[in-house]
């Protein structure tokens, strides 16, 4: 039996010490710790990495400070369109949803797609009908209304811009934060990964980013690693980031750190891609690389203290 471990993220971008009050910083660190505790509660009792990832992300989705679930940003039409994905490294099974609304926990709906359908990715109204079929928990629009998210939408509409939730247009802006995700290794040596997001503020035309796309924003394979990404989704899609890291490990013999550094600090940077990811390999090594100013992140090994961090230092 192996020792377990888990890592989570709450978004990456221009996150500066000057942009967060001590109280707000403490709130974010507490949200990270709460999610780690939720996931670890599964792992320490011998549960699966898949269930641990779901439990950790549910905690993050229920946190209005983060851009997923309850805290999802507003679309151009003043609605919420959420994406999520979960993958099991044991057998490469996966489930994902895109453009769903009023679903309290899109990560759980993704898991239902994996376990209760013959498909991998469901989108829009079809995904909503499936959610009803599997008795997913729905919430009214009021549940998803967060004032700072609405203020972001109004500001974006002033210039007709589409804003990355976690990147600040102004250094003193305190309201830009992003996508959530988790990766875990259970005591049976199985990996899992999951990602959930509300996307971009003021997004139009049913835009979907990398989060629900297998190999781009989310990937897990017991032979290599588990990955959950956060950042400018278009660049992560074009770079197939999550799978690229796995491929470098499988085909070129890179270590997890070498693969992460190559993709996040070299390949993404060359095409202008900002963001980061959390990565965990089959041996329990964890990497938390990012090429932005900061990334909300945390990790926990069995019988160790929780590590949380926000800034680049």
* Structure tokens, 263: 């993709």
Radius of gyration, alpha carbons of the chain: 17
**3-class state of residue 262 by DSSP:** helix
Active site residue 218: no
Question: What residues form DSSP beta bridges with 177?
Answer: none
Catalytic residue among 14, 48, 75, 179: 179
* Structure tokens, 168: 């600040």
Torsion of CA 104, 9, 164, 103, to 10 degrees: -10
* Structure tokens, 302: 């069995």
First to last CA, the chain: 34
**3-class state of residue 133 by DSSP:** helix
Q: How far apart are CA 28 and CA 310, in angstroms?
A: 9
**Taking a C-beta distance cutoff of 8 angstroms, is the pair 91, 49 a contact?**
no
* Structure tokens, 91: 């057998």
**3-class state of residue 159 by DSSP:** coil
Hey, which residues are catalytic here? 179
């Amino acid at each position: 039996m192996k020792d377990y471990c888990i890592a989570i993220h709450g978004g990456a971008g221009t996150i500066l010490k000057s942009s967060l009050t001590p109280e707000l910083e403490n709130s974010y660190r507490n949200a990270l710790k709460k999610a780690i505790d939720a996931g670890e509660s599964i792992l320490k009792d011998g549960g699966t990495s898949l269930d641990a990832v779901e439990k950790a992300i549910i905690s993050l989705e229920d946190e209005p400070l983060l851009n997923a679930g309850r805290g999802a940003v507003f679309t151009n039409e003043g609605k919420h369109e959420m994406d999520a994905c979960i993958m099991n490294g044991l057998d490469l099974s996966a489930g994902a949803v895109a453009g769903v609304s009023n679903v309290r926990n899109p990560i759980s709906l993704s898991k239902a797609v994996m376990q209760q359908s013959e498909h991998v990715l469901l989108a829009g109204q079809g995904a909503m009908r499936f959610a009803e079929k599997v008795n997913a928990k729905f919430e009214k629009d009021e549940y998803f209304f967060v004032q700072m998210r609405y203020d972001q939408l109004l500001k974006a509409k002033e210039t007709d811009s589409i804003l990355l939730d976690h990147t600040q247009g102004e250094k003193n802006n305190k309201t830009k934060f992003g996508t959530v995700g988790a990766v875990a290794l259970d005591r049976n040596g199985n990996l899992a990964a999951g990602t959930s997001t509300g996307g971009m503020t003021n997004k139009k035309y049913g835009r979907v980013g990398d989060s629900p796309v297998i190999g781009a924003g989310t990937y897990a394979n017991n032979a290599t690693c588990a990955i959950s990404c956060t950042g400018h989704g278009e660049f992560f899609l074009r770079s197939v980031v999550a799978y690229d890291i796995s491929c470098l490990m499988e085909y070129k013999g890179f270590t997890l750190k070498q693969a992460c550094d190559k993709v996040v600090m070299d390949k993404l940077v060359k095409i202008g891609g900002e963001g980061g990811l959390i990565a965990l390999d089959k041996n329990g090594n964890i990497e938390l690389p990012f090429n932005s100013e900061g990334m909300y992140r945390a990790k926990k090994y069995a019988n160790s203290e929780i590590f949380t961090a926000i800034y680049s230092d």
